[in-house]
Amino acid sequence: MKTAEIARRYLDYFEKNGHTIVPSASLVTDDPALLFTVAGMVPFIPYLSGDVPAPYTRAADNQKCIRTNDIEEVGKTPRHGTFFQMLGNWSFGDYFKEGAIRFAWELLTSAEEDGGLAFDPKDLWVTVYEDDDEARELWLKIAGLPEERIQRLGKDTNYWSTGLPGPAGPCSEIFFDRGPAYGIDGGPATDDDRYVEIWNLVFMQYEITNVRSKYDFDIVGELPAKNIDTGMGLERVAFIKQGVDNMYETDQVRPVLDKAVELSGRRYGANHEDDVRFRVIADHVRSSLMLMSDGVTPSNDGRGYILRRLMRRAIRSMRLLGVEGPTFAELFTVSRDAMKEAYPVVETDWARISQYALAEEETFLRTLAAGSAILDDSVALTKKSGATAIAGSEAFLLHDTYGFPIDLTLEIAEEAGLSVDRAAFDTLMQEQRARAKADARSRKRQLADTSVYRDFRAKGETGFTGYTDLETESSVLGILVDGVSVDRAAVGQIAEVILAETALYAESGGQVADKGVIVGPGYELEVLDVQKPVPGLVSHTVEVTTGEVGVGQPATTVVDAANRRAARQAHSATHLVHAALRDTLGKTATQAGSLNRAGYMRFDFSWAQALSDATKSEIEEIANNAVRDNLEVTTRVLPLDEAKSLGAMALFGEKYGDTVRMVDIGGPWSRELCAGTHVSTSAEIGLINLVGESSVGASNRRVEALVGLDAFRSLAAERALVSQLTTTLKTPRDQLPARIAELTASLKAAEKKIAAFESKALADRLPALTATASTVGPYAVVAESLGAAASADDVRSLALQVRERLGSQASVVALGADVAGRPVVIVATNDAARAAGAKAGALAKAAAAALGGGGGGRDDVAQGGGTDAAALPAALSAVTGALGA
């Protein structure tokens, strides 16, 4: 009986018995806690929990599921698969135990001609929850099973709950006995592969609370509406009905296995390790096909990573079977043909699915070729050295340089009887990501000697289309990794990519590089930096985030539009501020450098003294007046000499060819040679807010400004602060400076008075503190908490005075206080105490340990501190305890 036929019979049976047939939900669940639909109940959780009223009282379905927590068991047992189909029938407050048991038994044991599955009752066993007498009696009555074939089991196997407060209940499971050839007698309780669970009936009848674990909770009472949740494993029933040994040999899976046998030239059943590989291939190819049919694509995180892992495990298994070349074209086609009867989408969406499958295989085969040899050497060297773990640096090299996945390294190491220093690998990965994100600009000149760009530059200049376009289709002319020209770069690698054309702006003229991505067939690159290593050539520093990029492939540059818009605003604002500076300070205030990026600009200029507040305000006003006037921004490409004759200013540090680009804002008022990107009219800048002016050298100054929305947000924050101050201080805005100065002066005077008062108060306690001296061993000891103190110096002074009062006997003084919310302990010892072995530094450390901090000092006086002022009594006790030890 074919798998699809079993599913059809199941759904037909329950439809005839009043159940609504519900289509399978997608493998991609919308539950944020789950990557995939991992069980048949997942789509019904809102109904079972009562969060959403069920739209039907009875339902049945065949739900697609993906579960990878047992991925290492795939191929090793007869029943573990990553993709599986769960047949289920559901009752929402309708029938309960008797109905569920009756339906299950009738469908399983009815003759095929009557629409049943024709299981022989003598081959079936049942388990019930150990306290569920009702279910046991129903099985006896409905199925007529002998008592010995109804086994009672505990909560760990026969009680269902989510592990959270809510619905729960006992289970009853149905098993098929495969016979003595598969294991010992004794029923499901023997936990043997001989007895295969085919159907689980969950009776949701209780409300639980105080959940301490999945199997430890309190039952509040029975649910007002009891539910039935059942699951019959379609693949398990199929391999039994088809008379094969495992799910990998069923009609929907075996064709892939057979094709793998054909391609490898090896025989299935001849070698256990090869058999496991054949089964892994059969399972993973089908699982990958089904995931892609639900829209999942290979990637480096989330669902895409699971798919990529499945596909790459299949590819590697084929390699271990001796097949070096690509096989997915044939394996996926066979799987499609086996599954299309049940899931027509695998055929109708075949063009897209096959494109992703073949691209992924091509990429990973190259990765395997480069990485496997290196890993084999690493395994051999590790064993030779007597170590048991491959160094994390080796695993990182494989990942970073060759795109070799860490999970594959772990698997290969485990097969060789080794582990991998995963902690060291993770540390290196974190460091690499930090370097890639935060320090790309410092790497840009280290990646390659400029001579390596000659061949690329010889093919012509890189066309820049970014003045008018934010996306441009091009092709990959070259790839550099660590300064060496290579054919391709894989996931996780940092590389330089040379394109024929680009819409991404390369850093120049003070404008930082664009943000964006480069995409192509089967790959995506995050752009970390864009530079011109040699004139006329643009190099993109990228991190390969998806797939693998190769020379000659199509590539589309995609500019981050929002970032570009803000960068244009900042660059045009820089021109306006430059013009405003020259208007205010004169023509000698010449440009000496600039930087502009999204929302921010800075401008360095020649000037010998700080700008007054009035001058800064004037510059800011002139620039913003230009914004208000909505001046036209025009660009012209013309001979350098002509541009200079028109008064265009050349920017600091820029080299110009015979032909230049001139940018006018408001005509000649702002006229500069500039290759940067700009707004169309000055009003698009929005707002310029000067936020800083400082010295950057003996004769150079720097102004900084926020631009556009960043400028607005800064001013809005200041406005809110001023409003809060006027309200709190009950002072008009124009009088705030004077009022704050008055309050500051009053506060300082008050602080001085308080400090003097506290110091005197402490000094007045000298006689009383001296009187508290007690004898600890050979020492006279004063150990007291002073409460609050103005400063540690006051506590120290008082401790020294108490020590003097105690005279020549061996004396130790330990005084604690709360100084500005932090605990301090001062320890002082006299000559006689030190001669007897009492050292202030060691005693202060003991006190500090109790305070959760540190301390120490000289033998005669020392200080300890911490964070927990409430622990001062314990700290003082630690001092006396140390003296008495």
Annotated binding-site residue numbers for Zn(2+): 571, 575, 674, 678
Q: Give the integer Cα–Cα distance in Å for 606 and 583.
A: 14
Q: Give the integer Cα–Cα distance in Å for 548 and 536.
A: 27
Spatial contact of 608 and 699, defined as CB atoms under 8 Å apart: yes
Provide the angle, in degrees to the nearest 10, between the axes of the packed helices 613-628 and 561-585: 120
Angle at 175 between CA 174 and CA 180, to 5 degrees: 160
Q: In this structure, how many other beta carbons lie within 10 angstroms of the beta carbon of residue 111?
A: 9
Outline where 696-791 has alpha helix (H).
Answer: 709-729, 736-764, 766-771
Q: In this structure, how many other beta carbons lie within 10 angstroms of the beta carbon of residue 702?
A: 19
Q: 3-state DSSP call for residue 737?
A: helix
Residues 6+ apart with CB under 8 A from 814: 781, 782, 783, 784, 799, 825, 826, 827, 828, 843, 847, 876, 879, 880
Q: Give the integer Cα–Cα distance in Å for 368 and 383.
A: 22
Binding-site residues: 571, 575, 674, 678
Spatial contact of 127 and 151, defined as CB atoms under 8 Å apart: yes
Q: Give the integer Cα–Cα distance in Å for 588 and 867.
A: 57
Strand 501-502 relative to strand 463-464, pairing: parallel
Spatial contact of 539 and 507, defined as CB atoms under 8 Å apart: no
Spatial contact of 68 and 82, defined as CB atoms under 8 Å apart: yes
Strand 501-502 relative to strand 591-597, pairing: unpaired
Q: Give the integer Cα–Cα distance in Å for 769 and 796.
A: 14
> What are the two backbone dihedrals, phi and then psi, of residue 214, each rounded to the nearest 5 degrees?
-60, -25
Supply 394's token pair.
């080796």
Q: Give the integer Cα–Cα distance in Å for 694 and 710.
A: 20
Residues 6+ apart with CB under 8 A from 241: 1, 6, 117
> What are the two backbone dihedrals, phi and then psi, of residue 363, each rounded to the nearest 5 degrees?
-65, -45
Task: Look at phi and psi of residue 238 and say left if phi exceeds 0, alpha if psi is from -120 to 50, else beta.
Answer: alpha
Q: Give the integer Cα–Cα distance in Å for 202 and 160.
A: 7
Closest C-alpha to 75, from 278, 259, 215, 350: 278
**Dihedral over alpha carbons 296, 299, 304, 305 (to 10 degrees):** 160
Outline where 586-708 has alpha helix (H).
Answer: 613-628, 640-645
Closest C-alpha to 245, from 177, 189, 178: 178
Residues 6+ apart with CB under 8 A from 650: 644, 656, 672, 673
Closest C-alpha to 214, from 166, 151, 152, 153: 166
Q: Give the integer Cα–Cα distance in Å for 646 and 670.
A: 11
Q: 3-state DSSP call for residue 328?
A: helix
Q: What DSSP designation does 496 have?
A: E
Element (H, E) at 495: strand 494-499
Residues 6+ apart with CB under 8 A from 789: 758, 762, 795, 817, 818, 819, 824
